[in-house]
Amino acid sequence: MTKQVTFLMCSPRGDKSASYSLGSYVTRLLEEKGIAQQSFKIYQIIKNSQKIDEMIKSIDGSDIIVLSSPLYIDGAPYMTIKLMDIITEKNNQGKLSKKDRLLFANSNAGYLEYYHNNIALRIYEQFAEKNGFTWAGGLPIGAAGTYAMYPIPEFLKMLEPLPEDDPRKEIYEKPTKIIDSVIKTAVDHLSKGERVPESELKKLEFIPMPLQAYVDSGNKNWIDTAESLGAKDKLRDKPYELKK
Amino acid sequence: MSYLILNGMYKDDSFIPKINELVSKELVKRDVKGETIDLHKNAIKPCLGCFKCWIQTPGVCIIDDYAREVAKKMIQADNLIYLTPVHFGGYSSELKKALDRSICLMLPFFRVYKEEIHHETRYDKYPNLIVIGTLEEPNLKQEEIFSELVERNVLNNFAPKHATQIIYHSDDESTVKKKVEEGVRIVGDDND
Ligand SMILES: Cc1cc2nc3c(=O)[nH]c(=O)nc-3n(C[C@H](O)[C@H](O)[C@H](O)COP(=O)(O)O)c2cc1C
């Protein structure tokens, strides 16, 4: 019988999100291995009971669940927690049959360091445990906004022709190649019904550029965007300051 | 001195209301005045992840609903208290729906703080943070995740002082009372 994967995309930013870009890359590679995919954009279905039922049916028939989420305030966003609440409730009502299912997660942080995602991934692991899913591991991605702009394959194609001494080789191409390789190995394991080995996921434990360089470019980006929206001079406003 | 309790209980929880009452009483005893917001009774839309509260309408979320009021009350309190079931080791969705909408309280700008990337402060003063989680029974793994989550939050929300307490449904009355007292102990008058 054909294996099946359910993709749970938890970012409200839709197709423009890192969660979509990275999660859909995983599920597309699974599809290439003959695993049928059903995907759900959680922010579109969260209030629609019919769609929720469809999602539960899909999970019920799935061998693999891929949950891809942004990191909000050091943990799972509201939307992702609500999703876990719903799945747990339906599971408790007996809507999920007994079956081996792997849960693989991806958490995307705005900060540069991958490890900000670790708490969220442990929360997803607890969710898996509570629901009888086998925790297959998680991808902690830092500075994930890059992948919201450029999906991995396109990004690598863009970076490839750059001369070897171009700094973007070191700060973008090298880390992206590592993430790409970890994802491909993860997909190999998942497609065989296996967990992704810790040793593989550990390869993501790197910080690709000096913190200050990230701070400087990030801050310039905020100012430029605010300027284009006519809000540059208001960036430091304190609208809720208590009047003494 | 003021407090704000964000009650993140799910609507059929009968345990957290008791804790809420004990915490408020304890605070009033210390001459701290404030209020509880029962989040499950308030409609709050999910964060859109658009960052417009940073770069378009700085300091105010573009969605005009009750979350704006919550964010305002959060920053104006001297002491902020989260009440939540420990939920897969994290916060309840009820609590999180409001917290996600509160990033307007910090600046978009990054800085290196304690050798990590964090944000800059928007306001001159931030509330102390007390987080009280409830669990049916002890669960070491979840408690560990929960405590670490609070520690990480403190780095990001600039609380000058903070405390975490986990209260079990099975705790007897005097233990519950002790934990609540222990939790609010950090509330002094030096943050007035
Ligand atoms: C409400 C909110 C809270 C956030 N909190 C954090 C955080 O605690 N740590 C972090 O590194 N990034 C944080 N971010 C940034 C997002 O995690 C980052 O932009 C991520 O790439 C978004 O993923 P997406 O494109 O899939 O939505 C936050 C963003 C929002 C909107």
Domain locations in chain B as residue ranges: 2-174
Output the pLDDT for position A170. Answer: 95
Distance from CA of B174 to the nearest CA of A (A): 30
Output the pLDDT for position A220. Answer: 98
Using alpha carbons, select from B105, B92, B79, B98 the residue that is nearest to residue B157: B105
ipTM: 0.97
By CA distance, what is B51's nearest residue in A? A222
* Interchain pair A73, B105: CB under 8 A: no
Would you kindly state where each structural domain of chain A is located, as residue ranges?
4-232
Q: How far apart are CA B5 and CA B73, in angstroms?
A: 10
Contact with chain A for residue B142, Cβ under 8 A:
yes
Number of Cβ within a 10 Å radius of residue A157: 10
Burial of A142 (0-12, 13-18, 19+ CB in 10 A): buried
pLDDT tens profile A175-204? 999 999 999 999 999 999 999 999 999 999
- The model's confidence at residue B159, banded by pLDDT at 50, 70 and 90, is very high
What CATH number matches the domain at A4-232, 3.40.50.1220, 3.40.50.360, 2.60.120.20, 3.30.300.130?
3.40.50.360
* Interchain pair A111, B118: CB under 8 A: yes
Q: What is the pTM of this model?
A: 0.97
Q: What is the mean pLDDT of residues A159-174?
A: 96
Chain B contact probe: residue of A44, A68, A123 with most B CBs at under 10 A: A123
Which chain B residues touch A75 with a CB distance below 8 Å? 90-91, 96, 149, 152
Which chain B residues touch A46 with a CB distance below 8 Å? 46
Output the pLDDT for position A243. Answer: 81
pLDDT tens profile B10-46? 999 999 999 999 999 999 999 999 999 999 999 999 9
Which chain B residues touch A225 with a CB distance below 8 Å? 55
Q: What is the mean pLDDT of residues A112-130?
A: 98
Q: Which atom of ligand 1 is nearest to the CA of A11?
A: 27
Alpha-carbon distances of A209 from A17, A111, A142, rounded to whole Å: 22, 12, 11
- The model's confidence at residue A2, banded by pLDDT at 50, 70 and 90, is confident
Contact with chain A for residue B87, Cβ under 8 A:
yes
∠ CA(A129), CA(A133), CA(A138), 5° rounding?
80
Question: Rg of chain B over CA atoms, in angstroms?
Answer: 16
Residue B191 above 50 pLDDT? no
The whole-chain average pLDDT of chain B stands at 96
3-state secondary structure A3-34: CEEEEEECCCCHHHCHHHHHHHHHHHHHHHCC
Best residue among B103, B106, B149, B152 to mutate for probing ligand 1, ranked by most atoms within 8 Å of CB = B103
Q: Which atom of ligand 1 is nearest to the CA of B49?
A: 31
- Give the DSSP H or E segment for A213: helix A211-228
Contacts of B113 (CB under 8 A, 6+ apart): B155
Structure tokens at B156: 């990001």
Residue A55 above 70 pLDDT? yes
Structure tokens at B158: 């600039």
Residue A46 above 50 pLDDT? yes
Q: What is the mean pLDDT of residues A157-171?
A: 96
Residue type, A4: Q
Residue B31 DSSP label: T
- Give the DSSP H or E segment for A38: strand A36-41
Q: What is the DSSP string of B94-128?
A: HHHHHHGGGGGGEEEEEEEETTEEEEEESSS---E
In short, whether A144's Cβ falls inside 6 Å of ligand 1 is: yes
Instruction: Spell out the CATH class of B2-174.
Output: alpha beta
Residue B192 above 90 pLDDT? no
Residues 21-60 on B with a CB inside 8 Å of A are: 46-50, 54-60
pLDDT tens profile A33-44? 999 999 999 999
Across the strands, what pairs with A105? A67, A138
* Interchain pair B47, A12: CB under 8 A: yes
Q: How far apart are CA A203 and CA B145, in angstroms?
A: 23
Alpha-carbon distances of A182 from A43, A104, A157, A188, rounded to whole Å: 28, 13, 18, 10
- Give the DSSP H or E segment for B38: strand B33-38
- Give the DSSP H or E segment for A42: helix A42-45
In short, whether B192's Cβ falls inside 6 Å of ligand 1 is: no
B128-135 β-sheet, strand order: B33-38, B2-7, B79-85, B128-135, B162-168
Candidate from B60, B93, B109 with C-beta closest to A81? B93
Q: Classify B185 as helix, strand or coil.
A: coil
Helices (H), chain B: 16-29, 52-55, 66-76, 93-99, 140-157, 173-184
**Greatest CA span in chain B, whole angstroms?**
50
Number of Cβ within a 10 Å radius of residue A30: 25
* Interchain pair A226, B116: CB under 8 A: no
